[in-house]
Amino acid sequence: MNMKREELITKLKKIIMPYVQDEEAFKKLSSETDFIRDLKINSANLVDIVLDVEDEFNIKIENDDMEKMISVEGAMGIINTRLEEE
Amino acid sequence: MIGNDIVDLKFASSSPNWRRDRFLDKVFSAREQKIISESLNPFQTLWLLWSMKESAYKIYVRQHSKKFFTPTKVKCNLFSSNDGIVEIFHETYKTNTTIDKDYIYTIAFKDFSENIISDCFKLENTTYSNQHYTSYQNLLYAIAELENVTPTSLVIKKDEFGRPILYRNNHAQNISLSITHHGYYGGYAFLK
C-alpha cells in the first residue's frame, strides 16, 4: 500500500510537531526540510520521532534506515518503502 | 579537535520514549545496555553514554565532513564514571564527563596534549533562540578575552555540515570549537 503523499506529510507533521524548536521553519515545511538544520530538533528527539513513526505506521525502522530519518523527504521514503513491504 | 554535549537531566526525563526498550535498541549496543542496566543509576548512565556519543560524533563530523545518524555505530567504553573512549568506525576519541545532579556535560577530544578551554552554564529559559544566543555569546566573549580582541569582531556561522566556524573580521579562523545546549543548560569548548 502506498499512502498518498499529502496524507503522509500530514501524519508526519503531527508526529514531529511536539519536538520542533523553530516554528517559522515548521510553517514553511517542505520535502527538503531538515529536522536538525531547519527545525532545530535535538538529536534525542530524533530517536523519539523514529519510535513515534514506527507506532503511527505500524512499521519497523532498522538502525541502518535511521540515516535517512533526518529530513522530511528521507522519512517519507523510508515510511513508503516499509509500508510497501507490509 | 574538540566536541562537547550537554544533557539537561530534567529535560531528558520528559522525553516520552527513553524508558522503552526500542529506544535503547536504537541508540545502544547490547554491551552498552548492560552497562546501563547494571549501573547504580541507569537513567544517569544512559545520558552519560548518550553525551559521550554525541560529543565524539561532533569531532568525527568535523574531521571527516560526513554526517550520519546511527547511534549504535558510535561505541562507548567507560573507564571510570567520568572517563571513557568512544570509537566511530576507525577513529578513537577520549571523553571526560562532568556529572551534576541536574546535568551531564561531556567533552570529547583527540589527545591529552590538547589545551581545551570549556565552560558550561545555566540558561535563563529554554527557548531555542535564548539557548542559541547565550551559548554563542558566551563562547565569543571567552575567545575575545583570550585573544584580546573585541567580541564584535567575531562571528560564528555554521557550515553545510552544521559545524560551527569562527570568523574574525569576515575571515574564517582555524580554531576547533563546539557548542551545545539542552533545556536549561549550555556549554562551549574550544582549543587554545
Last residue of a domain, one of B92, B113, B134: B113
**Inter-residue contact B86 to B93 (CB < 8 Å):** yes
Report chain B residues whose CB lies below 8 A from the CB of A66: 26, 69-71
Based on the fold, state whether residues B68 and B12 are members of the same structural domain.
yes
Which residue from B29, B134, B42 is spatially nearest to B142, judged by alpha carbons? Answer: B134
Based on the fold, state whether residues B123 and B67 are members of the same structural domain.
no
Based on the fold, state whether residues B19 and B107 are members of the same structural domain.
yes
What does the pLDDT read at residue B161? 87
- Start-to-end Cα distance in chain A: 8
Q: pLDDT digit of tens for each residue in chain B (192 aa)?
A: 999 999 999 999 887 778 888 999 999 999 999 999 999 999 999 999 999 999 999 999 999 998 888 899 999 999 999 999 999 999 999 999 999 999 999 999 998 888 999 999 999 999 999 999 999 999 999 999 999 999 999 999 999 888 999 999 999 999 999 999 999 999 999 998
What's the pLDDT band for A2 if we cut at 50, 70, 90?
A: low
What does the pLDDT read at residue B162? 87
Residue-by-residue DSSP string for B59-121 = HHHHHH------GGGEEEEESSSSEEEEEETTEEEEEEEEE-SSEEEEEEES-TTS-EEEEEE
Based on the fold, state whether residues B90 and B175 are members of the same structural domain.
no
- A69 CB within 8 Å of a chain B CB: yes
Cell of A5: 503523499
Euclidean distance between CA atoms B57 and B85, whole angstroms = 12
**ipTM of the complex as predicted:** 0.88
Based on the fold, state whether residues B169 and B78 are members of the same structural domain.
no
What does the pLDDT read at residue A1? 52
Would the CB atoms of A46 and B69 count as touching at under 8 Å?
yes
**pLDDT surpasses 60 at A36:** yes
Report chain A residues whose CB lies below 8 A from the CB of B12: 44
More confident residue, B192 or A8: A8
> Which structural domain, as residue segments, surrounds residue B148?
119-191
What does the pLDDT read at residue A12? 96
Euclidean distance between CA atoms B124 and B127, whole angstroms = 9
Based on the fold, state whether residues B18 and B107 are members of the same structural domain.
yes
Amino acid of residue B179: I
Average per-residue pLDDT for chain A: 91
Based on the fold, state whether residues B6 and B91 are members of the same structural domain.
yes
Would the CB atoms of B26 and A47 count as touching at under 8 Å?
yes
Q: What percent of chain B has a predicted confidence (pLDDT) above 70?
A: 100
Based on the fold, state whether residues B83 and B164 are members of the same structural domain.
no
Last residue of a domain, one of B113, B144, B170: B113
